[in-house]
Structure 1
Amino acid sequence: MIAIGPLNVRLDLLAMMASLLILYIGFKKIGLSEKDRDVVLGTWFAGFLAWKGSAIVLGLASTGSLALSLYATGGTWSILIAAGVIAFFVYRLLPSLRGYWLFSALFLWFAMTLVVPKYGTLPLLSSSQPLHLYMAALIVLLLIATWRWMRTPTLGALLWTGVGAFSIWLIGSIVTGTLKLWWIIPFFLLIAVAAYVARPSQKAIQYGLGLIVVLAIINASLPDETPRLEAGSSQTGLNIGQVPPNFELKRTDGTTFNLSKLRGERVVVNFWASWCPPCRAEMPDMAKFAREQDDVTIVAVNTTTSERDVADAESFVAPYEDAFEVVYDENGMVGDAYRIQAMPTTYVLDENGVIVAKQFGAIDHAWLDAQTN
């Protein structure tokens, strides 16, 4: 995230735009025509517009306010709509261009993985590891393999590359503990289709079986339970997979709140200010979500040092105090510890106090539901 005044600019979106520019120049260098470059890379712009446009429509339907809907994320529905639009345009591509598109997809995935840090404990390693770097390295291997056949794609090559990408994604899900068992079904269906369309060579089968045996041996040697991250250790930090700093702040009524007291519960820590339009936009959805959930606690941290008058913050948040733990960072120490440069900024913590998601910018009910379930 990069702060520009009071606004947050997401690094993953910046990485996406920069990657598209690099791809546009790179495809030109290897001889792809301007028309073909526009067609291949235009699929991503169409998907982005579909995502944001559907988010605004869904936000307008839920809030009834166009001003507030501009900050909506759209949740899972907007992602599915964007994916459908991209799939439609990819289907319309000339077969000779699909290799270029798949390479662009892997390149975008690599760039966005690289700039969103994730940390966690890997098998056989006791210390916290930069999972995003391991994932990026695996994607690079797939990029190299794709480059070899990109100009002359076959359906078999496209399918087996899809299997490779799906495998990397599943590995990342397993390591971060976000795997859902039903994801295995489409994975094996994709393998079956790839094997039917383009039968793997005997050597590829041997390598694959060897990898499965190695993974089985590693899994058998692991302890029954992977050690969890603990607050106060060297694994404390603000990236996904780390434990954020503890803090103790005053509520509106003067009583003291301590974040560590919520250990064992899922927690959403949201930094806000009353003058911030996205903060004002997200509050109703946050309150609705909080009132529906008994096992998730939202801690709304007011960045008091940025307020003109504390009374403005107190009057604004008063209708929501039954839903949140509202606390005030009066001297700015917590904001500094969390490196808050712009608002709103939100962290989601699991029962062990580990960051499992974070968002720079407005959130809504759909985002909260997706990140806490």
Structure 2
Amino acid sequence: MLSVNIGPFPLPLSQLFLMVALLVALGVGHLAGRGQKTGGMASTLSDMLLVALLAARLVFVALWFDSYRQEPWSILDIRDGGFTLWAGVLAALLVALWQGVRRAALRKPLVLGLAAGALAWGGMQGALNVMNEEAPVLPTVVLTTVAGEQVQLAELAAGKPLVVNLWATWCPPCRREMPVLAAAQQKESGVSFVFANQGEDGAAVLRYLSSSQLHLFNVVFDPATALALAVGSRSLPTTLFYDASGRLVDSHLGELSAASLANKLQQLRAPPAVTSPPP
């Protein structure tokens, strides 16, 4: 599962987990500081979050600046998911340390709250990882090629790492990111790309691709949106990243930028860790 619906709006699980962890941290911190003049627990957590997001974004942009150079205004569009986790965590901890040094009464509630929030996030993420490990390596959904043949993702992967883009012609962010994915498909010969249209008539899709002059390989049709249901995605576009063994290693809900796609492809190409044989 990649997302849940909050009313009519899909919410990525990563964002939901973060919201829950912050609420747990706030609740535990408030209880731990009850009867003391701690104050500022909520403002401290919000400061940590804001500084973490800013630091994580700035470091990511610095690392992938060449990808942003031609469209510098895209730096402000954080919907591409371009954040460097370690930079955000470090910045948040520095804010917490600074607040703890300045306000002694806040130290215990802050430490306990952050520990509880981290445990809550870790527990939810761990449960999700277990669910993903128990799921089939690749969805066994039957898709239809442009030639009208039936095919599955494992056949299209051909033993390579696999990027699967779930999209539709009526989806503006899908259309905006398509040239980025098309360019990556032309460049990345060691990675297979599949463009799985969700819920549309094949003739309409081909007319769109022809009029937009997009040159894509491995365009397939999924009129019943069975693939989106199989992976638990409730929003478009969704991009899935599988390693050569068919294990889901990453995903992205929403529009990809050249930088965020390059970052995920770099992780996808990373060699698997070598484990020593048992004695």
Query: 1:243 and 2:137 equivalent?
Result: yes
Identity of aligned residues (%): 22
The match for 1:301 is 196
Q: Contact 1:55 / 1:72 at 8 angstroms: preserved in 2?
A: no
Distance in 2, Cα, partners of 1:291 & 1:13: 32
Q: Tell me which of 63, 66, 71 is aligned to 2:79.
A: 71
Query: 1:25 and 2:27 equivalent?
Result: yes
SS class of match (2:214) = helix
Distance in 1, Cα, partners of 2:176 & 2:82: 14
SS class of match (2:193) = strand
Distance in 1, Cα, partners of 2:223 & 2:80: 29
Q: TM-score, normalised by structure 2?
A: 0.71
The Cα shift of 1:10 comes to 1.6
The match for 1:360 is 253
The Cα shift of 1:2 comes to 1.4
Q: Contact 2:26 / 2:45 at 8 angstroms: preserved in 1?
A: no
Residues 77-122 of structure 1 deviation map (CA, whole Å, 9 limit, x = unaligned): x435424532442342334445544444433333333333113xxx
Distance in 2, Cα, partners of 1:102 & 1:62: 43
Distance in 2, Cα, partners of 1:331 & 1:296: 26
Q: What amino acid is aligned across from residue 310 of structure 1 in structure 2?
A: V
Q: Contact 1:267 / 1:348 at 8 angstroms: preserved in 2?
A: yes
After TM superposition, list the pairs within 5 Å mapping 1:129-208 onto structure 2.
none
The match for 1:118 is 129
The Cα shift of 1:301 comes to 0.5
Distance in 1, Cα, partners of 2:244 & 2:129: 18
Q: Contact 1:348 / 1:356 at 8 angstroms: preserved in 2?
A: yes
Q: What amino acid is aligned across from residue 356 of structure 1 in structure 2?
A: V
1:56–1:85 distance in 2 versus 1, CA, 3 Å: same
The Cα shift of 1:62 comes to 5.3
1:292–1:80 distance in 2 versus 1, CA, 3 Å: farther
Q: Contact 2:250 / 2:264 at 8 angstroms: preserved in 1?
A: no
The Cα shift of 1:42 comes to 2.6
Distance in 1, Cα, partners of 2:74 & 2:160: 35
Could you list the runs of 5+ residues in structure 2 that have no partner in the other structure?
Answer: 271-279
Query: 1:2 and 2:4 equivalent?
Result: yes
Q: Contact 1:268 / 1:296 at 8 angstroms: preserved in 2?
A: yes
The match for 1:310 is 205
After TM superposition, list the pairs within 5 Å mapping 1:37-116 onto structure 2.
37-39=42-44, 42-51=47-56, 61=69, 63-64=71-72, 66=74, 69-75=77-83, 78-95=84-101, 96=104, 97=106, 100-116=109-125
After TM superposition, list the pairs within 5 Å mapping 1:325-364 onto structure 2.
325-363=218-256, 364=261
The two structures, once aligned, show a CA RMSD in angstroms of 3.7
The match for 1:270 is 165
SS class of match (2:95) = helix
1:315–1:5 distance in 2 versus 1, CA, 3 Å: farther
1:21–1:259 distance in 2 versus 1, CA, 3 Å: closer
Asked which structure has the greater RCO (Cα within 8 Å, sep 6+), the reply is 2
Larger Rg over CA atoms: 1
Aligned residues: 252
Distance in 2, Cα, partners of 1:332 & 1:309: 16
Q: TM-score, normalised by structure 1?
A: 0.55
Could you list the runs of 5+ residues in structure 1 that have no partner in the other structure?
Answer: 120-129, 132-228, 230-234
Residues 278-337 of structure 1 deviation map (CA, whole Å, 9 limit, x = unaligned): 32333233233333322211111011339994355434775241xx42111134333343
The Cα shift of 1:74 comes to 1.7
Q: Contact 2:24 / 2:120 at 8 angstroms: preserved in 1?
A: no
